[in-house]
């Protein structure tokens, strides 16, 4: 039954990985804006039909 | 009596304008139903064209050309009518102040040798297309490296190369596509909105610990694994302790801190019994684990913290795009043009001192009380008083800060510092510093918490006294479990969940509350105080009346045609009111701040404007306080038009409904001419006060509160800011949400004013829902305490009772509020 110690240790380790993942996600700002990314992902990355240099304004 | 005259708006034309076109463009506009390819507005009869596409104005066409050249026309495909009408205002050097090193140091959030980054507030963004275009700024200018939009906050974060583009150019670029950012005094020094992540961290940690501790505690609850428990019990116990420790130290910190703050102010809030319960729960469990008696209550402990943090989270979700803390600095400009002997110089408003000479151009805000030296002042004080008709000021007059100049440039001499002005010194009032002292209204939850503590301590003492002589072991168990069960977690969950649900219901109906405590203040209100101008009256409407000799149809036509030429709000209103066919004009000249002179093709001459300009006797027929425009035909004064404020159409019904339950009052900065009308609207018992200064309004509210009344103030302008702040709940009325609204507790869209009675009724229902949920949670506590005083409160009883009570309270609170919303048809 001593295997339980190992198994519990491993399961905790896995859980800790998920916790770390969550903390990282919060830290990187993924919870700051829950709306804009949902719109942004639907934009097409259409290539310009003719190679145009970005227009420079004075 | 105020006499106002039409004025022109275009800044480059300071003197009389040249001849009008023979056929006024204004009256033609209805002739077409072509929609502008950029902004979607109706085009004039002969729209500007570009590749067959119609445009309503040159501004729109310029934007289209710009986007087209950069392959950005997807903009028009994404949303419906995304384009923003470009205002004609194009002042060279408008953004020059941004080049100043001091301003940049405050605005930029990051700066290296080659890059700069800053976050700007762009209130105009409203749809998918806006996000798309703003994030494709790099295509418009190579100097912009990256642009990221935070749509809900209406913010854009721009990274740009310092070598390729300067900050004024970045802002100019945004303005050129119709998204001019709002850069005000309040923005300076405030770094980009950093949402607090602490609650998320705390929540994540508590959830992690809760899940794992629950698993470890499970074997203990089932007797068939007793042999397992014998072998692993201690190990599981230590592990649970290790997992629960960070929850105590980090996740639960907020509760202990809040309780401690309350105690320091000699005040027991609901967090005190919670902290007491959590502390005893943790220490009892630790003692049990360390002494080898059992696994303790760690699962209940972590679960409690987790649920209560969820409650906090639900309550904390607010409206990102709205700001409830704006003061005058949010409205005042960042920089001002100072006139020095050496020439013009752009200085920060904070550096402005008494004696400085400044220049204020068209559409700029006057930052400090000043004496007008040169120029014709046409000052729009709509943000201050709600009155949208500009006020005329002549050289030598004292001009109060906060007004927006319309028309030609002004030269002024500052007579009071920015923070010492007539308006801004309101913010020096102690009412504006009270926030730090905690909530002004004692919430039910806190009051309940206090009784709870007393009851718990009494019971705990009773348990000690009862079991002491009989059974020492049971005595300690019973004593600690009384403290444990006394943790009013269910009680503390009732308010956040009910109020959180209510906030969302009200938000759907355009009443946006700062936080949940406002609902309680609204529910307990007994007095409603209204501002008049802009709140009870609709600033966009006015009733026009004519006094004087009857006008012939041809004369009316002439007046309408001439008035349509002016952009002054009163002329526009008059043209709309008369709405006749256009008459060919021979000449048409506008005199800024005075009036306008026109001659019809038939030779008839017209003068329209102030009494002096027209030649009418100023003290003449109208002694009423309404705004008047005088008319003279062929040199003979004919009469005058008066413009009267119109009350919002929904007002009589809503005031009648409110009058049955609440004391009503009106505080107006105007004279008492409207007294009889208001009296008829509000009923005989209402308190009507006229000629109130901003400080008077504040003082009135404070005095009434001191007498024990719960006050709700409904206002709109900066002059109500003090009263809004002093009231238990201040509701700012706004016509457009992105517009300025002063610091307040709630923002209500003006069109929804008619439902105020419903909103107040709903908030009362919400408060009843909270009280009902209190009763439910107290039942759970009673069950728990019955077990506890007998010493039967085991970890398994706790493990069942705690989540059950927490979850059911959450569900019941939310459902009760939903039900109330349905009853009120919200």
Query: What does A17-52 look like in DSSP terms, one character per residue?
Result: HHHHHHHHHHHTTTTT-SSHHHHHTT---PPPSS--
Among all chains, which residue has been given the structure tokens 């050309």? Answer: B65
A23 vs B204: CB contact, 8 Å cut-off?
yes
Looking at residue B116, the DSSP 8-state letter turns out to be: E
Query: pLDDT, tens digit, for every residue of B777-798?
Result: 888 888 888 887 777 777 777 7
Of the listed ranges A10-14, B210-214, B411-415, B604-608, the least confidently predicted one is: B604-608
- In a 13 Å sphere around the CA of B396, the CA atoms on its Cβ side amount to 0
Q: Is residue A24 part of a domain?
A: yes
B141 vs A1: CB contact, 8 Å cut-off?
no
B601 C-beta neighbours (distance < 10 Å), count: 12
Query: pLDDT, tens digit, for every residue of B366-411?
Result: 888 899 988 888 888 877 777 767 787 888 888 888 888 877 788 8
Q: Which has the closest alpha carbon to B567: B359, B410, B380, B360? A: B380
Q: Cα separation of B180 and B163, whole Å?
A: 22
B154 interface with A at CB cutoff 8 Å:
no
Considering CB atoms only, which of B131, B201, B212 is closest to A40?
A: B131
CB B441 within 8 A of CB B517: yes
CB B319 within 8 A of CB B326: no
Distance of CA B229 to the CA centre of its chain: 57
Confidence (pLDDT) at A47 = 55
CB B34 within 8 A of CB B47: yes
B313 interface with A at CB cutoff 8 Å:
no
CB B98 within 8 A of CB B168: yes
B191 pLDDT higher than 70: no
A46 C-beta neighbours (distance < 10 Å), count: 8
Angstroms from B676 CA to nearest CA on chain A: 50
Q: Which two tokens stand for residue B52?
A: 């067959």
A1 interface with B at CB cutoff 8 Å:
yes
CATH number of B39-82+85-178: 3.30.70.100
pLDDT band at B319 (very low <50, low <70, confident <90, very high): low
Q: Cα separation of B711 and B687, whole Å?
A: 13
Report the b/e string of B520-539 with b at 16+ CB within 10 A.
bbbbbbebbbbbbbbbbbbb
A23 vs B128: CB contact, 8 Å cut-off?
no
B66 interface with A at CB cutoff 8 Å:
yes
CB B474 within 8 A of CB B467: yes
B200 vs A19: CB contact, 8 Å cut-off?
no
Confidence (pLDDT) at B248 = 94
B292 pLDDT higher than 90: no
B262 pLDDT higher than 80: yes
* Residue ranges matching CATH 2.70.150.10 in chain B: 328-431
| Pairing relationship of beta strands B711-715 and B527-531 according to DSSP bridges | parallel
Chain A residues within an 8 Å CB radius of B204: 19, 22-23, 26
Q: Which residue of A has its CA nearest to B200?
A: A26
Q: Which has the closest alpha carbon to B550: B479, B639, B436, B637? A: B639
A21 interface with B at CB cutoff 8 Å:
no
B74 interface with A at CB cutoff 8 Å:
yes
Query: pLDDT, tens digit, for every residue of B529-540?
Result: 998 888 888 877
Q: Which has the closest alpha carbon to B121: B154, B160, B167, B159? A: B154
Q: Cα separation of B770 and B491, whole Å?
A: 9
- Identity of the highest mean pLDDT range in A7-21, A30-44, B658-672: A7-21
CB B614 within 8 A of CB B60: no
CB–CB contacts below 8 A, A to B? 78
Window 220-249 of B: residues touching A by CB (8 A cutoff) are 228, 231-232, 235, 239
Q: Which two tokens stand for residue B83?
A: 């384009």
Considering CB atoms only, which of A1, A19, A57 is closest to B204?
A: A19
Phi, psi of B115 (to 5 degrees): -120, 155
Longest CA pairwise span in chain A (Å): 77
A9 C-beta neighbours (distance < 10 Å), count: 10
B212 vs A54: CB contact, 8 Å cut-off?
no
CB B749 within 8 A of CB B737: yes
| Pairing relationship of beta strands B370-374 and B398-399 according to DSSP bridges | antiparallel
pLDDT band at B817 (very low <50, low <70, confident <90, very high): very high
Query: pLDDT, tens digit, for every residue of A19-38?
Result: 999 999 998 888 877 788 88
Confidence (pLDDT) at A56 = 44
**What percent of chain B shows pLDDT beyond 90?**
11
B31 pLDDT higher than 90: no
| Pairing relationship of beta strands B537-548 and B391-393 according to DSSP bridges | unpaired
Q: Which has the closest alpha carbon to B445: B811, B822, B815, B809? A: B809
Which ipTM was obtained for this model? 0.81
Query: pLDDT, tens digit, for every residue of B220-240?
Result: 776 555 666 666 777 888 889
C-alpha distances (whole Å) from B225 to each of B233, B251, B299, B334, B793 are: 11, 32, 18, 71, 21
B151 vs A36: CB contact, 8 Å cut-off?
yes
Of the listed ranges A13-17, B171-175, B577-581, B748-752, the least confidently predicted one is: B577-581
Domain range enclosing A25: 3-34
Confidence (pLDDT) at B713 = 92
Q: Is residue A13 part of a domain?
A: yes
Considering CB atoms only, which of B70, B128, B211 is closest to A39?
A: B128
Considering CB atoms only, which of A23, A27, A55 is closest to B70?
A: A55
Q: What's the mean per-residue pLDDT of chain B?
A: 79
B13 pLDDT higher than 50: no
Among all chains, which residue has been given the structure tokens 């923070």? Answer: B419
B14 pLDDT higher than 60: no
Confidence (pLDDT) at A16 = 95
pLDDT band at B247 (very low <50, low <70, confident <90, very high): very high
Total number of residues shown for chain B: 826
B140 vs A44: CB contact, 8 Å cut-off?
no
pLDDT band at B23 (very low <50, low <70, confident <90, very high): very low
Q: At what angle do helices B472-485 and B756-789 cross, to 10 degrees?
A: 170
pLDDT band at B85 (very low <50, low <70, confident <90, very high): low
Mean pLDDT on B690-708: 87
Domain count for chain A: 1
Q: Cα separation of B753 and B133, whole Å?
A: 35
Confidence (pLDDT) at B20 = 33
Considering CB atoms only, which of B150, B208, B231 is closest to A36?
A: B150
Considering CB atoms only, which of B135, B201, B208 is closest to A15?
A: B208
C-alpha distances (whole Å) from B572 to each of B26, B331, B424, B577 are: 10, 26, 32, 9
B139 interface with A at CB cutoff 8 Å:
yes
Angstroms from B152 CA to nearest CA on chain A: 7
Chain A residues within an 8 Å CB radius of B74: 44, 46
A2 interface with B at CB cutoff 8 Å:
no
H helices of B604-752, in order, are 611-614, 651-659, 675-682, 694-706, 721-726
CATH fold of the domain at B328-431: 2.70.150
**What percent of chain B shows pLDDT beyond 70?**
86
Confidence (pLDDT) at B206 = 95
DSSP for B339-386 reads EETTEEEEEEGGG--TT-EEEE-TTPBP-S-EEEEES-EEEE-HHHHS
Longest CA pairwise span in chain B (Å): 114
Sheet holding B711-715, edge to edge: B511-513, B746-749, B729-734, B711-715, B527-531, B663-667, B687-689
B128 interface with A at CB cutoff 8 Å:
yes
- In a 13 Å sphere around the CA of B374, the CA atoms on its Cβ side amount to 8
* Residue ranges matching CATH 3.30.70.100 in chain B: 39-82+85-178
């Amino acid at each position: 039954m001593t295997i339980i110690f190992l198994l519990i240790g491993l399961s905790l380790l896995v859980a800790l990985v998920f916790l770390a993942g969550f903390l990282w996600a919060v830290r990187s700002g993924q919870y700051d804006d829950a709306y804009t990314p949902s719109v942004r992902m639907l934009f097409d990355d259409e290539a310009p039909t003719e190679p145009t240099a970005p227009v420079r304004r004075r | 009596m105020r006499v106002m005259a039409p004025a022109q708006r275009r800044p480059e034309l300071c003197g009389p304008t040249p001849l009008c076109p023979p056929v006024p463009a204004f009256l033609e506009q209805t002739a077409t139903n072509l929609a502008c390819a950029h902004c979607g507005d109706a085009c004039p009869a002969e729209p500007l064209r570009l590749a067959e596409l119609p445009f309503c104005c040159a501004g729109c066409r310029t934007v289209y050309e710009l986007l087209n050249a950069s392959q950005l026309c997807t903009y028009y495909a994404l949303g419906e009518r995304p384009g923003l009408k470009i205002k004609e205002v194009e002042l060279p050097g408008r953004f020059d102040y941004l080049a100043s090193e001091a301003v940049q140091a405050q605005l930029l959030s990051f700066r290296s040798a080659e890059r700069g980054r800053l976050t700007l507030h762009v209130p105009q963004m409203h749809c998918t297309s806006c996000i798309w275009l703003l994030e494709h700024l790099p295509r418009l200018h190579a100097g912009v490296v990256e642009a990221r939009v935070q749509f809900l906050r209406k913010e854009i974060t721009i990274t740009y190369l310092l070598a390729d583009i300067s900050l004024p150019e970045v802002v100019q670029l945004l303005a050129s596509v119709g998204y001019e950012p709002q850069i005000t005094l309040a923005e300076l020094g405030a770094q980009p909105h950093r949402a607090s992540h602490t609650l998320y961290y705390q929540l994540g940690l508590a959830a992690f610990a809760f899940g794992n501790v629950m698993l470890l505690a499970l074997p203990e609850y089932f007797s068939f694994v007793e042999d397992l428990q014998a072998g692993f019990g201690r190990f599981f116990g230590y592990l649970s302790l290790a997992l629960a420790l960070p929850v105590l130290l980090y996740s639960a910190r907020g509760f202990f801190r809040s309780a401690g703050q309350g105690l320091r102010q000699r005040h027991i809030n609901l967090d005190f019994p919670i902290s007491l319960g959590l502390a005893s729960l943790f220490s009892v469990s630790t003692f049990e684990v360390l002494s080898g008696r059992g696994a303790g209550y760690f699962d209940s402990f972590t679960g409690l913290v987790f649920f209560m943090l969820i409650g906090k989270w639900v309550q904390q979700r607010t409206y990102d795009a709205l700001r409830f803390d704006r003061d005058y600095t949010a409205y005042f400009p960042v920089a001002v043009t100072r006139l020095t002997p050496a020439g013009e110089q752009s200085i920060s408003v904070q550096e402005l001192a008494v004696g400085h000479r400044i220049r204020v151009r068209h559409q700029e805000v006057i930052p400090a009380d000043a004496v007008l030296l040169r120029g014709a002042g046409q000052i729009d004080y709509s943000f201050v008083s709600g009155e949208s008709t500009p006020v005329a000021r002549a050289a030598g007059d004292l001009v109060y800060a906060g007004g927006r100049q319309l028309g030609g440039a002004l030269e002024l001499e500052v007579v009071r510092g920015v923070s010492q002005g007539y308006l801004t010194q309101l913010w020096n009032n102690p009412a504006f510093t009270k926030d730090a002292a905690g909530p002004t209204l004692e919430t039910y939850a806190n009051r309940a918490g206090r009784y709870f503590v007393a009851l718990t301590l009494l019971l705990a003492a009773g348990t000690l006294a009862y079991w002491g002589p009989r059974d020492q072991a049971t005595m300690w168990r019973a004593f600690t479990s009384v403290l444990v069960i006394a943790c009013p977690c269910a009680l503390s969950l009732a308010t956040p969940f009910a109020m959180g649900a209510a906030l969302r219901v009200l938000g759907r109906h355009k009443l946006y509350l700062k936080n949940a405590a406002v609902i309680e203040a609204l529910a307990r209100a007994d007095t409603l105080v209204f501002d008049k101008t802009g709140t009870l009256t609709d600033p966009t409407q006015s009733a026009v009346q004519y006094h004087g000799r009857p006008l012939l149809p041809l004369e009316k036509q002439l007046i309408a045609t001439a008035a349509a030429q002016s952009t002054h709000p009163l002329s526009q209103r008059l043209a709309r009111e008369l709405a006749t066919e256009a008459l060919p004009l021979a000449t048409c000249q506008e005199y800024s701040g005075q009036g306008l002179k026109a001659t019809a093709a038939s030779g008839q001459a017209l003068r329209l404007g102030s009494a002096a300009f027209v030649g009418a006797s100023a003290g003449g027929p109208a002694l009423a306080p309404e705004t008047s425009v005088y008319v003279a035909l062929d040199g003979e004064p004919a009469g005058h038009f008066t413009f009267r404020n119109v009350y919002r159409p929904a007002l009589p019904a809503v005031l009648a409904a409110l009058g049955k339950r609440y004391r009503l009052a009106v505080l107006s900065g105007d004279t008492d001419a409207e007294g009889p009308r208001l009296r008829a609207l509000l009923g005989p018992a209402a308190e009507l006060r006229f000629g109130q200064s901003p400080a008077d309004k504040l003082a009135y509210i404070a005095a009434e509160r001191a007498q024990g009344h719960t006050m709700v103030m409904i206002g709109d302008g900066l002059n109500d800011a003090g009263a809004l702040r002093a009231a238990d709940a201040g509701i700012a009325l706004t016509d457009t949400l992105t517009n300025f609204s002063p610091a307040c507790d709630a923002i209500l869209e003006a069109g929804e004013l008619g439902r105020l009675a419903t909103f107040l009724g709903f908030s009362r229902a919400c408060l009843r829902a909270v009280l009902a949920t209190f009763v439910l949670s107290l039942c759970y506590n009673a069950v728990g305490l019955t077990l506890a005083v007998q010493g039967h409160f085991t970890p398994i009883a706790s493990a069942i009772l705690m989540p059950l009570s927490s979850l059911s309270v959450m569900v019941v609170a939310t459902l009760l509020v939903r039900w109330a919303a349905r009853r009120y048809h919200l």
